[in-house]
Amino acid sequence: MKRICVLGAGSWGTALAILLCNNGHSVTVWSIDPEEVLMLMDYREQRDKLPGVMVPSTIDFTTNMEVAVTGAEIVVCAVPSPFVRSTMKSVSKYIVDGTIIVDVAKGIEDKTYKTMTEVIEDECPQAKVGILSGPSHAEEVGRGIPTTIVAGSKERDVAECIQDTFMNETFRVYTSPDVVGIELGGSLKNVIALAAGIVDGLGFGDNTKAALMTRGIAEIMRLVIALGGSMETVAGLSGIGDLIVTCTSKHSRNRNAGYLIGQGKSYQEAMDEVKMVVEGVYSAKAAMALAKANHVSMPIVEAVNEVLFEGTDAKEASMRLLMRDRTTESQNLEW
């Protein structure tokens, strides 16, 4: 049994806390929101974000970060990506050497263009950092629906510790050393999922969406390889797997927000209606900046940025993508 702290009591933090508790670990969940903590303590249910999933009575909830983190062998960072740096800056003084921090937020930091594990390493250099990513909606993990995911770290023993801690009969965990590939796949698929939702909102069909997802994964692969990641990772759970579930699922906040944008709402109106942090909105600008800095062509990501931040009509952006210059599907194949 390990002592584990989960930072963040949203849908994903709550679902993972339930999973870890059911695996026999001692779990404390921290939230910055006193009302959220009271709700979880009183009703044993995340009524706002994970309704219908009951929380075991043995999980503790607190707003006291020191109480939550002190003595924890593993800290799970489940706050939304825009708040990872500020949270880890506050938590760093309670993290002892060798503590494993598992990032489960997906995103690229605005302005610095760093991934979440890089942000955590900046703020908590004394920790060992890993990541857990893949096709894994909280609404299903919380209910014990079979799910498969990947644990990544630069150190094999850290990835294997995460695997051993989280894995059970309905939650299968693979390991990988390709942290770059895992993180970029998890972040960029949110941008492509926004585009997939926009396609749905515009009333286009299955052909359009399949094309968008396929060309989207090609864009992700180009950037991952340019930044030192592996093509195999993009073809795996944290790449294609996560892209499929995020572009198609009713649970996907990014796809749902994109749908509203396709129907004419602004990104802020869409986020307000979804009532959750839509991480693809925050990652879109950073993804475009990384693409330009590394001379990588990402026309879908560029079109999403135009729709989100430049007021471009979604249908016009879609037509512009279709009417680009003729080219081959793969630049690496010879006649």
Domains in the chain (CATH in brackets) are: 3-177 (3.40.50.720), 180-322 (1.10.1040.10)
- Which residue is associated with the tokens 């906040």? 253
Active-site residues, by number, are 189
- Report the alpha-carbon distance of residue 88 to residue 113 in Å, rounded: 17
pLDDT of 132 reads 98
What is the per-residue pLDDT for 272?
87
**Cβ-based neighbours of 289, under 8 Å, separated by 6 or more:** 113
Distance between CA atoms of 266 and 257, rounded to whole angstroms? 9
CA distances from 64 to 7, 27, 91, 94 (A): 11, 14, 11, 12
What was the pLDDT predicted at 174? 98
CB-based contacts of 226: which residues, under 8 Å, 6+ apart? Answer: 294, 295, 296
Residues of the chain with pLDDT under 70: none
DSSP 8-state symbol, 263: T
pLDDT, tens digit, for every residue of 191-216? 999 999 999 999 999 999 999 999 99
Containing 279, the helix (H) or strand (E) segment is helix 279-293
For the chain, the helix, strand and coil percentages under 3-state DSSP, each to the nearest 5: 55, 15, 35
pLDDT for the residue numbered 173:
98
Contact predicate 13/83, CB 8 Å: no
Cα 34 to Cα 49: distance, rounded to the nearest angstrom: 16
Q: What is the pLDDT of residue 279?
A: 84
Q: Which residues contact 99 (CB under 8 A, 6 or more apart)?
A: 72, 73, 74, 75, 124, 126, 127, 128
